[in-house]
Every structure is written in C-alpha cells, then in structure tokens.
Amino acid sequence: MPQNFIEGRREQGFLLPPDVREWLPVDHLAWFVIDAVAEMDLSAFYAAYRADGHGRAAYEPSVMVALVLYAFATKVRSSRSIERHCRQDVAYRVITGNLVPDHATIARFVCRHDQALAELFAEVLKLCDRAGFVRPGVVSIDGTRIAGNASPQVNHEFEQIAREIVAETRATDEAEDEEFGDARGDELPERLRSAEGRREFFRQARQELRREHENREPAGEPEAQAAEGVPLELDANEIVGRGRQGRDAWLREGKRQLERHRWQNPDPIPRSRDERLLLAAERLEDELDVDRRANEAYEHYRATARDRLGRRPGGRAEPHRPPDVPAGKVNTTDPDSRPIPIGFGFVQGYNAQAAVNEQQIVLAAEITNSSTDFSQLDPMVTATLAELERVGVGERPEAVAADAGYWNEQQMDEVVANKHIPVLVAPDKGTRGTPKRWFTSGRASWMRTLLATEHGQQRYRKRKQTVEPLFGDTKHNSGFYRFHRRGRVKVRLEWRLLMMTHNLTKLHRHRLATVGA
C-alpha cells in the first residue's frame, strides 16, 4: 500500500472568487480591530480630504487607521515592515481587503494625521468604558525612560554648531584666508557674539535655505519656521508667594514657561541637516534669551519690591551675568530629546508617562523630556481627568499613587486642594531602609505613617500590580526600547499608539474570555 499524504496543490486555481471572511477565525484580533475602528469617530480624518472627490483616489481612512492600530498591536511599527506584512500576512490582507499600500503612503498617512491619530486614544477609552473597564479607583502614575531616535554623541555646544553653520557658507579656502588673515580660523565670528547679530544671522540663513528649497518638491512635512520671541509672564506674587525666593526660582520659572511654549508651538524636525543645525542653534539662543529676561525680572523685583513696612527684600543677592554666547548643549539630530538617566547611565531620549487604573487600562499617556518625575504629578492627573471627561466618565479617582520621584509638595497640594483627589506618594525610595535624615517635614512623617497602615499599604501596593507590569510588557514582551520617530509631537503619537493598542488587546482578551466562559 503506498504512503498516504495530503498534498499541497499550489497550481490549483480557485473555483470561486476568494472570500477574505473565510481566511481568519471570527475571534481573531484583526476582526476585533476592524469592528473597533467602525465604532470610532473618524470625522477628523475624512475632513482632511477634498469633499468633491477630485484628484487621485486615496486609501480609505478607516482601512489605514485599522492597519496602523493592528500593526502596533502586533509589534510591527516600521512602515516598510507594515508593507511587507500586507504582502505576506493573511491577517494584514484581511485588514486592507487585499490592498498593499506602499510604505511611503503609510508613513505619509501617519505624518498627515498625527493629531487625529493621537486623539483616537479617547475613542479606544470609550470602547473600554462600554466594557466596564474604565473604573477610576486607585490610579497609578509612573514614568519610564525610553531612548529616542538620536545619538548622544551629537549633543553639541553653540560654538560647535555655529562653526559648522558658518563653514557651510564659506565657498573656498581663499575666501577663508582673506577673512581671517593670520588667525586660526576656528574662532566664533564676531557677529555671533551678540544677540542682535545672532538673530540677524539666523534670519539670513533661513532665507538662504528657503531659496534653496523653493524649486524642490515638497517633502510631505511642514518647513521649520524661525522661532518667535517666547512670551514670559513672571509674576512676583506667584513666584515669591509660594516661598520660592531667590534668583534660581525666577530662572526655573522662565525655563518652565519656555518649555510650555515649545509644547504649544512645536517645531517640526527637518530632514535636512542644515536646517536641523539652524534649529538647534536657535534653541540655545532662546534659552539664553529667556535666562536674561528672567534675570532682569528678578533684578527689577529686588530693586522695587517692598514689604508692608516699606523694607526691601532681605538677604544679599549674588551678582549674576548671563554668558555672551549660549551655554549648554543640544542634540542636532532630535533637538527635543534630552539625556535621560536610566540607572546604569544615560540615554538620549524621553520620559514616557502613563496613568493606569486597577484594571491595567491606560487612562492617560504623555511624554516629557524632563529627566525626572518631580514635576509630572499634577500634569498627569490633569491629563487623566481630561481623558475621562472626553469619555464621559464623571467619577474621579479614589486616590492617586506614585513613587518617591513624584514627591512635589506644591503639586500634591494642587491635586488635593483643587482637584479633590487624595495622593499617595512615598517620601522615600523603596531601596532605602531608613528615612532620609534631612527629609523630616510634617507632611513626610504623616505620609510615612499613612503608608504604614493596612489601608494605605493596600492602596499603594496596587501601583506595583498595574503600572509596573505595563512597562514590563511594553519593553520586554513587545521589544520596544527606542522611539522610531523624532520630535516631541511624533514621539507623543508613537507612545499613545502603543498605549491605545495595549488597551485594545486588553479588551480583545477580555471578550475572548467572556465568550469562552
């Protein structure tokens, strides 16, 4: 008797047209993502296209949204990898209906709709709310450091950046010899040693770059514009009233407002290195300008302020003279990224923040380039309440739990007094066996006593069961250790896509368990 096998007949044609509905089981993640996208409000995507239908046909937005969400849910984040899966993966072919979008088309779709894609986070939360997963309870807040798409080796000072920009404008060695004579030739040009000269140089450099790109095809991304003056509102009552007296408090407030201005008016990261160098130099110039203005405001306050008895502020102010040339360093590949400590060293990247409830559903996902979590408690609570309000959940969290890195008494007062949410923040790191000797305030002692009670331990312990496993799953299981995109807006979108697909897969597993039961 001959051997008996089931043969694979690749040359056999289909007797009937293929039906993609038969390619995957009904409980597959691909079908769940398609159904989830059908429930979302995609009006922002459709509004970006012409209503009269003129022009070349574009891929249907719901198909592209489902493709991007499914790709992130299955750990595929490169546009070229997504295109490759559309050719060879059955689930991707079901998502696209046997279409194969080009990788450039996928990348342009993400760039064109970055804001709309980021806002889908609330749409996913609505689906979780319908399943009963959005129950605030104890919300845990934490951050994880993730490397950016930039090397720390290109963190340069202003003089190095300026010399490279100037070098691009020199045509020949003869012109250089004529300009510098017997000098070394690497000194900073005189016009770049004053604020007015630098502003004029940057203006002329941008005009030259604009003329060079006038006849080129558009790259699909907005051109970086010259940075405008950063508005500063330094209120003495706000700064001194909170006990933050001294020059450093005014300088910190200036830097905080500068960072807020950059978030409200983000600069696109150009592809051209020449434009990135110019953007990096302007960033350092803005920081020096804010430092000078904050210092002038503090000097004015010292000279004019009087208490109720007509006396000047006490203490002796040390003289402070800002440098003539911007100090510090900036990354010339991704100027928004910063060196972030990760325990065993530093990475050039971002601090990714998440607020997670007891069901391990991410309620808010934001990013910052601050190296610590010290100033992130109130912003993350505010973001959480905003997302819950968009979903339609009026219930506030029972408490907010965070580790010792979030200990900021001013922000804790803001959350408790104005947002009416109890705060559980450990004053000491878990690795310390004894409290800090210099950290003996009444608030810290009270918090230690509260966390030592059974009620406090029960609630604070939930932080390790919710937000910590989320970061472990994102990094270890999903293999996400580095952002692929550059710039704070694009990095924020990438982080929110990761968190919303986490919520989607969580909801999918819940539905499978419900059906199986």
pLDDT tens-digit readout, 491-507 = 999 999 999 999 999 99
- Of 311, 336, 361, the residue that ends a domain is 336
Q: Are residues 442 and 496 in the same domain?
A: yes
Within-domain flag for 66: yes
> How far are the Cα atoms of 151, 282, 401, 500 from residue 123, in angstroms, in the given order?
35, 38, 25, 9
pLDDT of 126 > 90? The answer is yes
pLDDT recorded at residue 125: 95
Q: Are residues 345 and 322 in the same domain?
A: no
Within-domain flag for 492: yes
Q: Strand ranges (DSSP E) for 10-149?
A: 138-147
pLDDT of 434 > 80? The answer is no
pLDDT of 219 > 50? The answer is no
Q: Are residues 205 and 294 in the same domain?
A: yes
Within-domain flag for 8: no
Q: Are residues 106 and 165 in the same domain?
A: no
Within-domain flag for 120: no
> How far are the Cα atoms of 139, 202, 320 from residue 361, in angstroms, in the given order?
10, 46, 49
pLDDT of 189 > 80? The answer is no
- Of 336, 356, 372, the residue that ends a domain is 336
Residues 285 and 326 sit within 8 Å (Cβ to Cβ): yes
Q: Are residues 266 and 356 in the same domain?
A: no
Q: Are residues 469 and 364 in the same domain?
A: yes
Q: What is the pLDDT of residues 135-175, one digit of tens each?
A: 888 999 999 999 999 999 999 988 888 888 777 766 445 55
With tokens 């000797």, the residue in question is: 437
- Of 301, 336, 371, the residue that ends a domain is 336
pLDDT of 122 > 80? The answer is yes
pLDDT of 226 > 50? The answer is no
Q: Are residues 215 and 287 in the same domain?
A: yes
Handedness of CA 491, 494, 495, 496 (dihedral sign): positive
Q: Are residues 216 and 312 in the same domain?
A: yes
> How far are the Cα atoms of 239, 247, 256, 288, 301 from residue 233, in angstroms, in the given order?
11, 16, 11, 17, 13
Domain count, the chain: 3
Q: Are residues 286 and 321 in the same domain?
A: yes
Rounded CA gap, 170 and 160, in Å? Answer: 16
Q: Are residues 505 and 371 in the same domain?
A: yes
Within-domain flag for 305: yes
Average pLDDT over residues 322-338: 89
Residues 364 and 383 sit within 8 Å (Cβ to Cβ): yes
Within-domain flag for 2: no
What domain range is 203 assigned to? 155-336
Q: Are residues 358 and 397 in the same domain?
A: yes
Q: What is the mean pLDDT of the chain?
A: 84
Q: Are residues 201 and 172 in the same domain?
A: yes
Within-domain flag for 4: no
Within-domain flag for 179: yes
- Of 378 and 13, which is predicted with more confidence? 378
Local confidence band at 324 (pLDDT 50, 70, 90 cut-offs): confident
Local confidence band at 15 (pLDDT 50, 70, 90 cut-offs): confident
